[in-house]
Structure 1
């Protein structure tokens, strides 16, 4: 697949090593030399054991793609997620275990998700009967997007069962990509209620789970641990918080078109102030909007059954020609040409 440049903030060394640490362990268990996966990336496997270590998304993408090339079409993201335990999250895992309800744990997890090294961002959408944990990877690589979604849902299932018991079971999982050749691994690790080729990546749960009180809830210990976590993450949050918040707002309004005035208003600031703050991170609103659209387009193009016209509409384009022109500018390929290249990315 053609190389696609990553936006400026993906070069910032802000990502904790949790995910790559587990990835190295899984690869080693499968007989792959994990040291070779790190060659030339600026860190060693031993350095991934240091919770203070920070790496860039660019470095993380390189290691993940090397791992996928070493074990293609096997369900590597599922394996990594299933291999995680709550303690893998460090202090965040401890805080989650002390929360009052699963809803509170979801909110804390969403607030501090950047500390886990995840390649994806998530959101909880509550409904009266069903609620949705929606996740999206906005890195512009189709293979990494699938890996990130697999890892997120497999690990989320492990964490939830740790928090509230092995009886926890989602109603279903929904994925934007088409069913892979290793679908049996999805069934084995996530369960049989799977839907592929959807508009969103979601874990659907019965809403009553959100109000269940966690057995290890301790309000005093929670306040103390949360204060430590906030202090530990303050610097990273300051640098990444604005970009993630704006990206989330753009993604929310994507089908309808996102305007900087509305996003700025949602953040209680003027559009001029928002432009200035984004420029401090060498970023513009238009660049962020293109980034969200590009990543979403690549995710949806992974499903060969979804018409190009429907994808253009989901991205907020008034006609398919505008989408084709934009996608050609991003990747050098037409949407259909990119779609033809996707299966080759696992070879």
Structure 2
């Protein structure tokens, strides 16, 4: 695995075991030994049952990639997401069920997404008729990105139906990657309205759903549960909250080149203060910018029809040569070579 600017964060033990616990159950149901998936990673299947357990992104990636190798091209991320229930989220799931509206539930989910063990960053973009739940995987591995996006959307669909009923149905799903060989599994679990090769990964819903009052809303119980959730996540929330806020700001401004002054101003601080706060957490702005660019590049390269020039523009590079040099520095390979591997893998499936 090549050295990258994300290595320091990659080794932090911040991931809760919820996702990997479900992955182990799904793999076992499909005849894959969950014990072997964990072998040599520093934790056991039994330890994944402990909600206090924390795992690094590196360990989580290794386990997921082992499972993908054992169950290739079959929709493992979709299966894991569809296997979840609100209880899978622990205390967060309880808090979501007590929220007043779906909009409130999305906001709570965004604030505490680091407690779920997921590998994505999500946010809600509201519009008058349509609203978008947009998600990005922060890890620069094509197979992990597709798995994480599949798992996220299949999970969100399950959670929303648990909160407001089986009538909930998104208008459509959009994915940056090309249609996989198991597209039928997408249609079975997500529905027929699918678009691949898009600029963003997002679930599109009718905005009217956001104001629907949830039937299990309890204001007093919600305040009590939120206090417990905030205390439970306090040890990692400050660090992850800052990093994720900066990452979202970078992603938003990426096509514009993403100068630190603009990102800092959007966070109501000076660029000097932003650099200092990141330094307190062992990170730099340039390292986060590289991380976001690399992950976004990996995601867009999953679409074989998107020109390299358009990807460079979406990443904020003034010319394609700058993007090619950066990608070669990150991976040791050219963007075209990595895309060829994606195409070859899809054709051999």
Same fold by TM-score, threshold 0.5 exceeded? Answer: yes
Deviates more, 1:249-258 or 1:270-279: 270-279
Q: Distance in 1 between matches of 2:153 and 2:284?
A: 31
CA distance in 2 between partners of 1:129 and 1:27 (Å) = 39
CA distance in 1, matches of 2:147, 2:81: 10
Change in CA separation of 1:11 and 1:344 when aligned onto 2, cut-off 3 Å: farther
State whether residues 4 and 140 of structure 1, in contact with CA within 8 Å, keep that contact through their aligned partners in structure 2. no
CA contact (8 A) 2:130 2:207 kept: yes
CA-CA distance at 1:258 after TM superposition: 1.1
Aligned to 1:322: 322
Report the equivalent of 1:160. 160
C-alpha deviation, 1:275, in angstroms: 1.0
User: How big is the shift at 1:306?
Assistant: 0.6
The DSSP-based 3-state class of the residue aligned with 2:122 is strand
Post-superposition offset of 1:4: 6.2
Deviations 1:208-263 (A, max 9, x none): 00000000000000000001001111111122111111111000111112121222
Number of the residue aligned with 1:40: 40
Distance (Å, rounded) in 2 between the aligned partners of 1:343 and 1:303:
9
How many Å separate the matches in 1 of 2:342 and 2:41? 25
**Where does residue 289 of structure 1 map in the other structure?**
289
1:247-286 residue CA offsets vs partner (Å, 9 max, x unmatched): 1100011111212122222222221121122112221101
Distance in 2 (alpha carbons) for counterparts of 1:245 and 1:345: 34
Q: Cα distance 1:107–1:229, how it changes in 2: closer, same or farther (>3 A)?
A: same
Consecutive unaligned residues of structure 1, counting only runs of 5 or more, are none
| Counterparts of residues 199-278 of structure 1 (less than 5 Å) | 199-278=199-278
Structure 1 vs Structure 2 CA RMSD? 1.3
Q: Does 1:103 find its partner at 2:103?
A: yes
Task: Find the aligned partners of 1:48 and 1:223 in 2 and give their Cα distance.
Answer: 29
Deviation per residue, 1:173-202 (Å, 9 max, x gap): 000000000000000000000000000001
How many residues align? The count is 346
Q: Which residue of 1 aligns with 2:172?
A: 172
- Residues 1:24 and 2:24 are matched in the alignment: yes
Kindly indicate whether the alpha-carbon contact (under 8 Å) linking 2:120 and 2:138 is maintained by their aligned counterparts in 1: yes
Deviation at 1:342, TM superposition (A): 2.4
Deviations 1:293-338 (A, max 9, x none): 0000000000101111111111111111111111111111111011
1:345, distance to aligned residue in structure 2 (A): 6.5
Structure 1 CA distance, aligned partners of 2:335 and 2:211? 43
Determine the structure 2 residue equivalent to 1:14: 14
Moved more, 262-271 or 137-146: 262-271
Q: Mean Cα displacement is larger for which, 111-120 or 278-287?
A: 278-287
Q: CA deviation at 1:46?
A: 0.3
Deviating 4+ runs (over 3 angstroms): 2-6, 343-347
TM-score (norm 2): 0.97
* Counterpart in the other structure of 1:339: 339
Counterpart for residue 137 of structure 1? 137
Gaps of 5+ in 2: none
Question: For residue 114 of structure 1, what is the aligned residue in structure 2?
Answer: 114
SS at match of 2:173: strand
**Pairwise CA distance, 1:39:** 0.9
